[in-house]
Structure formats: C-alpha cells, structure tokens
C-alpha cells in the first residue's frame, strides 16, 4: 500500500475510535437541532388561555366596537383570546383610572390595558400598557384589530359600505419568481432558500473547523513527543501531508454524511420539501473546494505551532474568518448583486460560502462561476505549495514558534 494511504487509514480509523469523535458525532446535530428549532418553536408557541385585558377609552368613541372586535377573536377552537374589561368609570379622572389599572396589571389581575386618547390634531393615539413590552404577538393582534375597527368606523362616517371597504383594502401579496438563465422560471421561497444555503454553509464551517482542529491537534501531539521524527524517517513529508489531509478530510465528510442520514431519518419526507437547491452539483463543487482550501491552509499554519494553546488560538482565529460569510449572509441574501457580495465572491477565503448563498438565490452568470472556481483552484494550488514547504521545515522545529521572517525564509528555500 502507498505510504500516504497507510497514514490516511491510520488517521481515519484511530480518530474514528476516539470517544470525543463518537460523542461529537451525535451531540453536534443535537445542539444544532436545539439551536435552530427551539427558539422558533418557543416564539410561535403561545399559551392558549384567554387573557383578561383592560380598556380605558378617553375618547368614548371606540369602546363598543373595539370590545366587540377583540372579543370575537378566538384560538380557532372557539376559545376567545381576550376578555375585555371596560375600566372607564364615570366621574373618575383618567389619571386615577390609569393608576388603578396599573395596580391591576402589577397584581396580575389583568395582562395589560389599552388606553385610547386624542392627540392635539384629534387623531386617536392608542397605548398598550403591560408588564412585558416584548409580547409582539399580542401587540400585532391588538394593532391589527384596532386599525380594522378604526377604518370601518371612519368609513361608516362617510356612509361607505364596510364590506366594500374591506374588499378594497384587502392586502394583495406579491409572489417572487426567480428568472434563470435559460428563461426557466422558478418559484422562490425565500425562507427555504435561505435555510438550505445556510445549512450548507454551516456544514462547511463545521467540517472545516473539526477537521482542521483535528489536523492541528494531531500535529502538535506528534511534535511534542517527537513521533514526527519516526514518521518522517519512514516516509516523505509530502506523503505525511497528503495522508493526514486525506484521512482527516474523509473523516469529516463521513461525519457530515452521518448527520445527513440522521436528518433524513428523523425528518424524512418533510425534509425534501424544505430543501431547495437548484444547483446542487455546483454547490457541492464549491463546498469541496472551500473545504480543501481551508484544510491545506490549516496544514501550513498547523505545522508552525508547537503547543496546544497556540493551536487553540490559531483554530479560533481561523474559525472567525470562516464565520464571516454567516454574518454577511443576510444582506447578501436580500441583495445578491451587492458590490460587497461580488467582492467576497472573488476573495478565496469567503468565496465558497458566498457563492453557495448566491447560487441558490440569483442566476449567477456562467463566466462568474468559471472565474471564481478558477481563483479557488489556483488558491488551493498555491496554498498547498506554500503549506508543504512550511510543513517540511515546520514539523521539525520545536520550542520557540518561528516568526514571520523565519517562515518567509523557509518559503524561499529550494
């Protein structure tokens, strides 16, 4: 067997058997699941009990219609959403009413109360006062209900038919259709697109960080106990480099494959409707290119570090660069032709992630794909060349970490 294959097999099997790997294989998807699923689930999950809310209408105009409207809202099973209590009383000043209502809120007798008054231009101003200001569900509901009621009463003043009004003011949604190169049209579901691109970028990130981290840790271990000397006295540095990169890359890809199988297993068919990839093949090309580029970068940098701490520092810095596309993903998704997006598409370290985002979202011209793939392949070639040089010398340097000058002098050699 070729020696680099011997090394690749060893790295793959030995890391596969470690407890840390087995744990991360199952814990990481669990964490990802909790991260992506729980917040949305919690935000959408509302407690299905009728909320008592107060109403103080200093204008006297809206008490009856608003109470009617709000009381008619239900959870869909005829259970009303709100129990509206009129807190306004004759002969009692509004300031007094408000402070009484505040007490009720604090005593949790009511969830909150609506206060309506006129501003200087005789337009109604409406406030919702409650203990929590973050309950956007209730706020949306109250606002929409009030506005509908307000429009209807205003139109009625001018003797217009409310049915006609509601027909005219009905919101008409815009459907977004992506026009592709060949004149093909496809329906866009922004959310699905965003999520699929996002999932791919996060997978890319995790595989890069985990395999890069493993690579650096394995190098540091072998350097610290001088195993590296036995290795390089048995095979060439290039065999070692190729073997390690191959073995650990396969391990990371195996990890991703397991996760995908797990995801399909759990989510099953519902996943198929969610996944929305028009250019799966190209996305995979960028994924692999990005992965290989970062891994070869990790090799070069990893052979320079001499201690576990340095390795951790390096890994976290590189992780930040890998994270960058995730931070700028939202603006790019909303406007894929942004100049910023163009620039980051050509910059090798961000190119894979940004291209995955853009490919999914706009019709990227073929020439741009060719150029970016070209840039990536060239960058990989240069990185491997440099990394291999640094690696050959770096793996045998112990103790003090070499400075930039020293590394440059290594690159000049041969």
Partner 1 sequence: MLEVINLKKEYQTATAVDGISFRVEKGKIFGLLGPNGAGKTTTIRIILDILKPTSGEIRFDGKPIDKEFVNHTGYLPEERGLYQKSRVIDIIRYFSELKNVHANQAIENGVEWLKRLEISQYKDRKLEELSKGNQQKIQFITAILHNPDVLILDEPFSGFDPINQQLIKDIILSYVDNGKTMILSTHQMDMAEKLCDEIFLIDKGKEVVGGNINEVRKKYGKNSIRVDFSGDKSLISSIPGIVEINVYSNYAEIELNESTKPSEILKKLVDIVEIRNFTILEPSLNKIFIDLIKKSSE
| Per-position b or e across 317-337, b if 16+ CB within 10 A of its CB | ebeeebeebeebbeebbeebe
Nearer to partner 1, 18 or 50 (CB): 18
C-alpha to C-alpha distance for 277 and 385, rounded to whole angstroms:
34
Helices then strands (H, E): number in the chain?
17, 6
In whole angstroms, the minimum distance from the beta carbon of 408 to partner 1 comes to 12
Nearer to partner 1, 380 or 407 (CB): 407
The position carrying tokens 């067997």 is 1
In whole angstroms, the minimum distance from the beta carbon of 404 to partner 1 comes to 15
In whole angstroms, the minimum distance from the beta carbon of 237 to partner 1 comes to 9
Nearer to partner 1, 131 or 226 (CB): 226
- CA-nearest of 85, 84, 88, 83 to 58 is 88
Nearer to partner 1, 144 or 227 (CB): 227
Sign of the four-CA dihedral 362, 368, 370, 374: negative
Residue 306 DSSP SS3: coil
Return the HEC string of 56-99: EECCCCCHHHHHHHHHHCECCCCCECEEEEECCCCCCCHHHHHH
C-alpha to C-alpha distance for 196 and 273, rounded to whole angstroms:
11
**Residues near partner 1 (CB under 8 A):** 1, 3, 6-7, 10, 14, 17-18, 221, 224-227, 229-236, 396, 409
In whole angstroms, the minimum distance from the beta carbon of 409 to partner 1 comes to 7
- Residue 410 vs residues 231, 298, 391: alpha-carbon distances, Å: 21, 17, 10
In whole angstroms, the minimum distance from the beta carbon of 30 to partner 1 comes to 24
Nearer to partner 1, 185 or 414 (CB): 414
Nearer to partner 1, 109 or 226 (CB): 226
In whole angstroms, the minimum distance from the beta carbon of 191 to partner 1 comes to 44
> Quick one: tokens of 159?
């003797």
Nearer to partner 1, 232 or 375 (CB): 232
In whole angstroms, the minimum distance from the beta carbon of 221 to partner 1 comes to 8
């Amino acid at each position: 067997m070729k020696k680099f294959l011997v090394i690749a097999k060893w790295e793959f099997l030995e890391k596969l058997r470690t407890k840390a790997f087995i744990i991360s294989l199952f814990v990481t998807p669990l964490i990802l699941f909790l991260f992506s699923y729980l917040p949305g689930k919690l935000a959408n999950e509302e407690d299905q009990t009728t909320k008592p809310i107060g109403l103080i209408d200093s204008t006297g105009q809206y008490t009856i219609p608003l109470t009617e409207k709000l009381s008619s809202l239900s959870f869909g099973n005829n259970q009303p959403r709100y129990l509206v209590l009129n807190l306004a009383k004759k002969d009692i000043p509004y300031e007094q009413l408000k402070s009484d209502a505040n007490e009720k809120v604090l005593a949790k007798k009511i969830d909150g109360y609506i206060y309506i008054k006129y501003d200087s231009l005789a337009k109604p101003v409406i406030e919702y006062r409650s203990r929590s200001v973050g309950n956007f569900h209730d706020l949306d509901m109250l606002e929409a209900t009030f506005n509908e009621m307000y429009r209807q009463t205003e139109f009625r003043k001018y003797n217009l038919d409310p049915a006609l009004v509601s027909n005219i003011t009905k919101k008409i949604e815009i459907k977004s259709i992506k026009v592709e190169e060949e004149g093909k049209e496809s329906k866009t579901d922004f959310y699905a697109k965003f999520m699929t691109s996002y999932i791919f970028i996060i997978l890319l990130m995790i595989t890069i960080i985990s395999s890069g981290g493993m690579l650096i840790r394995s190098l540091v271990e072998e350097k610290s106990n001088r195993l590296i000397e036995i290795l390089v006295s048995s095979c060439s540095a290039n065999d070692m480099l190729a073997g390690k990169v191959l073995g650990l890359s396969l391990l990371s890809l195996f990890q991703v494959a397991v996760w995908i199988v797990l995801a399909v297993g759990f989510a099953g068919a519902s996943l198929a409707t969610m996944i929305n990839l028009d250019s799966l093949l190209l996305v995979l090309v960028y994924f692999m290119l990005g992965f290989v580029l970062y891994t070869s970068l990790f090799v070069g940098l990893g052979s320079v570090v001499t201690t576990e701490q340095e390795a951790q520092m390096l890994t976290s810095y590189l992780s930040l660069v890998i994270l960058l596309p995730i931070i700028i993903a939202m603006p790019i998704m909303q406007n894929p032709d942004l100049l910023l997006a163009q620039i980051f598409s050509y910059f090798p370290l961000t190119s894979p992630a940004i291209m995955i985002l853009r490919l999914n979202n706009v019709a990227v011209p073929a020439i741009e794909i060719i150029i970016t793939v070209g840039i990536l392949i060239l960058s990989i070639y240069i990185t491997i060349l440099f990394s291999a040089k640094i690696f050959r010398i770096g793996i045998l340097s112990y103790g003090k970490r070499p400075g930039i000058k020293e590394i440059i002098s290594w690159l000049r050699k041969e």
